[in-house]
Structure formats: C-alpha cells, structure tokens
A and B are shown apart, each in its own frame.
Chain A
Amino acid sequence: MAHAQCASFRENIPAYALGALDADEAAALEAHLRTCDSCTAELADFRAISDALLMAVPPRRPPAAIRQRLQARLPGASLSRRQKTRRLWPSWSFGQFALGMAIVLLVALNVFSLFQIQALQRQQAKFARQIQTGQAAFAMLAYPDTKSIPIGGSNITGTLLLDQEHNSAVLIAWNLPPIADNQTYQIWLIDPKGQRTSAGLFRQEPGQPFASQSIFSTQIISNFTGLGVTVEPAGGSSQPTGSRIFKVDF
C-alpha cells in the first residue's frame, strides 16, 4: 500500500528507471526503495518499459566484418584481457582503412651471403606472386622448425614466422593503417635490454594489396627478443619516434 510520504518519491521513479534522475535524487530514492515494497513494485513496472525501449529499435543487419573480426579474435579473447593492460598504441578507427582490404607485409630478416640473398629474393618474388592465392603463408608454415607467433594489435592481425635454424623470419600482417606520403613504416629489432636496432623501412606498393621488403641484419636473430613496427618520417629515424603499430615478442 502506498504511503503519503511515497508521493514525492513515486514521481521520480519513471526517471530513475530511465537512468535520468540526478545523482542526489537517485540516492534518496534508493534509500527509500530499500524500505518500501509498493515503490519497488512501481519501479519494476517502469523497468519493464525501459527494457522494452532497448528492444524497440528495429533490428539492422550489421556489417559482415564484425563477425569476421570477432571470429579472428576468439581463441585469444581471454588473452586480450592481458594485452589490454599493456596497450600502448592508439586504437584505429575502422574508417581509417578500407574494410575488406588486406595489406600484406612480407619481410625477411637474415644474415646471408649474396647467393642466399638472391635465392631469398627469388623466393620472395615467388611468395609475392603466390600471396594473392594465399599459398605463401602456408608454405612458410610448412617449413620444419618454423615457429609461428600471432600478432595481436587493435585491428591488426597477422603472424610472425620465425626460422632460427636458417636465421630468417617472415612477417605477414593485414590491416596496417595507411600512412601519409611523407611517412614510412620502420622495423625495429629489440634486444634483451630493450635497445632498438633498425631493420629497415618499407611502404605499401600502390595498387598492391601487400608490401614486401628484404631486411638484413648484422646480427643473428637469436640475439633479439622481439620486433616492432612504428610509423616514422620518410627516410626513417635512428631510434623510434612515431606511433607503434605493433610489437611481437619472439
């Protein structure tokens, strides 16, 4: 049964159900609700209205890309909770790159003789042709002793394939954010002390869905514990200065 003192509280119940009551009035109402069954029942009525307002918006088919991105993130979705605390790069709006466009980066790191470099370039050219049919990554994955490390950025997916026996690595990444004409992507190898050594520059080829670049290091891969990519001014920098696109630990 409603009591006389309920009147002013009851007036506020519809706004409270919508979450529109100012903080001081909400606190007073909450205190009253703890002792008044009638007002609690009245609130339940109005909550049914606000719940229905949630659903009273005609459904809209969402873009297919949402489901694809969710599916791609699923196995590591609980991993993403750990990554969130170490998130150091900005989250990219989907509008900053064309949906559905894959930008594939193919990079090899190695210390090779000239003969091996040429063989690697032939192999890269072959990879580049094959990548449009999606076979290149599978070829690398089929190498014995290849370690496959997933890359997880905000909207970036990809894999680092590391072959320490042959001192080589292949980096494949999709959805890198586009950069201006006066900028470049720069690759950094990271040693156990956190020192960054440049491992080369690359840009996406116009008209190509991917970028490819051979990278040479004077040290062996096992000296490093990770790799990162930043956006730098054209010509590169001696140390990272721009925003970091992603980082992978070996």
Chain B
Amino acid sequence: MTNSDDNALVAKVAEGDERAFLALYDRHASHVYALTLRILRDPMLAEEVTQDTFLKLWNRARLYLAERGTLLVWLLTIARRTALDRLRLEGRRPNLSDGNDPEDLWQVIPDAGTFSEESRWRSMYFAVHALSPEHCQVIELAYYQGMSQSEIAETLGWPLGTVKTRLRAAMEQLRREWGNL
C-alpha cells in the first residue's frame, strides 16, 4: 500500500472504475469512519458522512491532484469538512471532553526506530494525549469540532488572549515532539 498505488487507483476512479473505487474504500474507510465518529460522536451520523465522503471521491476524483498531498489527507480533509458541516446542521452542542475514547485501539507507543506511515500517525496520537488537559482541550475544540478562537473563548469562558496563547503553545509542543521525528 503506497501513495503511488493510491494515485493509480484514483486515476481509474476518475474514469468510472468501480473496482478501483471499492479498493480505495477498503483501504481508507476505517480512517474516514474513525475521524467522522470522533467529530460527530454518533455512529449513525458518522455512517452517513462516511458514505457522503466516498461519494464525493467518486464524483470528484478528477479534481484530486497528487502533488498537493496524499489521497488519504485529501479524503480526510473532505471528511472533516463534511462532518463539521453536519455538526452545525444538527445544531449540536460542543463536546467538552478531551476526546479520549476507551475504544481507541492504539495502546502502544511505536518504537522510535520505526518509520512507517502508521507509526507516524500513532506518534501524533500519543503526542496529543501527552498535552496538558487545557492544551488538549483547545486542540480538540479547534480541530475536531471546528471552532474559531473566539468561539472557544466563549464556550470555555476563557479570555480570548488565553485561548490564543494556549493554542499556540499546544501546536508548538506538537511540532517539537512530533515534527522532529
């Protein structure tokens, strides 16, 4: 499973190749579903948004440009936007938890010596969970719930300056710990 394999499959999907589409689904659906479930916290909505995301892949395959990033990032970007739109449509109240889910499966920090794609994502997962509770919370609200800094300030009852400082500090910590791996 490589990025160039993905790119070849997307080119086929753009020509209407259903098998290539299902192959991409089989490769990436578990990431899309997990992200939508994380954002929406509702299995039925997550199912719908996962389906919508892959339908967008089917309809927009021609628009994917390999030089702008990997297919998985493209798919997950679409999934995130679609999920956040749905969150707004449903009028959901922001979820103030830190995002921890006992059903998350990554239990083991990968060895420093492994350089696979998956080990990099798992490292980021652990880097986020190593943040202080306040830092973790601003990342959760900003990224997984799509809130602006003002919205976060209003929701948490923090001064806007505090939100900005904490968000910046959290991202810089993630860059230090993960960006240099």
Q: Is the interface of A mostly helix, strand, loop or mixed?
A: helix
Partner of A63 from B47, B54, B72 at Cβ < 8 Å: B47
> Can you list the 6 inter-chain pairs with the closest CB atoms, starting with the nearest?
A14-B171, A59-B30, A62-B33, A56-B124, A20-B142, A54-B76
Q: Mark A5-29, 1 if CB is under 8 A from B, else 0.
A: 0000001001101111111000000
With contacts A14-B167, A18-B143, A19-B143 taken as known, whether A67 is within 8 angstroms of B124 at the C-beta atoms is: no
The reply to whether A71 and B44 form a contact with Cβ atoms under 8 Å apart is: no
Q: Using Cβ atoms and an 8 Å threshold, which residues of chain A touch B147?
A: 20
Q: 0/1 per residue, B118-151, Cβ < 8 Å to A?
A: 0011101101100000000001001110111110
Q: Quick one: which of A1-53 are within 8 Å of B by CB?
A: 11, 14-15, 17-23, 45-46, 48-53
Query: Is B124 a contact of A62 with CB atoms below 8 Å?
Result: no
Surface stretch bound by B, among A77-85, A122-130, A232-240: A77-85
- Please judge, given known A-B contacts A20-B149, A49-B174, whether A58 and B34 are in contact too, CB under 8 Å: yes
Select which of B26, B29, B31, B55 is within 8 A of A55 by beta carbon: B31
Contact A48 B51 (CB under 8 A): no
Kindly state the separation between the CA atoms of A95 and B31 in the bound complex, as whole angstroms: 22
Q: How far is the CB of B52 from chain A (nearest CB, A)?
A: 10
Bound: A63/B37 CA distance, A: 12
Chain B interface bracket (under 10, 10 to 19, 20 to 34, 35 or more): 35 or more
Contact A54 B35 (CB under 8 A): yes
Q: Give A93 to B37 CA distance when docked, in angstroms.
A: 16
Identify the B interface with A (CB < 8 A). Answer: 18, 21-22, 25-26, 29-35, 37-38, 43-44, 47-48, 50-51, 54-55, 58-59, 69, 72-73, 76-77, 80, 103-106, 120-122, 124-125, 127-128, 139, 142-144, 146-150, 152, 164, 167-168, 171-172, 174-175, 178-179
20 A–B contacts, CB within 8 A, in A order: A14-B171, A14-B172, A15-B149, A18-B167, A20-B152, A22-B149, A23-B148, A52-B178, A54-B77, A55-B31, A55-B121, A59-B30, A61-B30, A62-B29, A66-B47, A70-B21, A70-B51, A77-B59, A93-B44, A94-B48
Q: Of A15, A21, A55, A75, which contacts B76 at CB under 8 A? A: A55
A10 to B59 Cα, complex, angstroms:
37
Report the bound CA distance from A52 to B37 in whole Å: 17
Contact of A70 among B31, B35, B55, B106 (CB under 8 A): B55
* 10 new A-B contacts at CB < 8 Å, known A21-B148, A56-B121, A66-B51: A49-B175, A52-B121, A52-B124, A56-B128, A57-B34, A57-B125, A58-B104, A60-B34, A60-B103, A62-B32
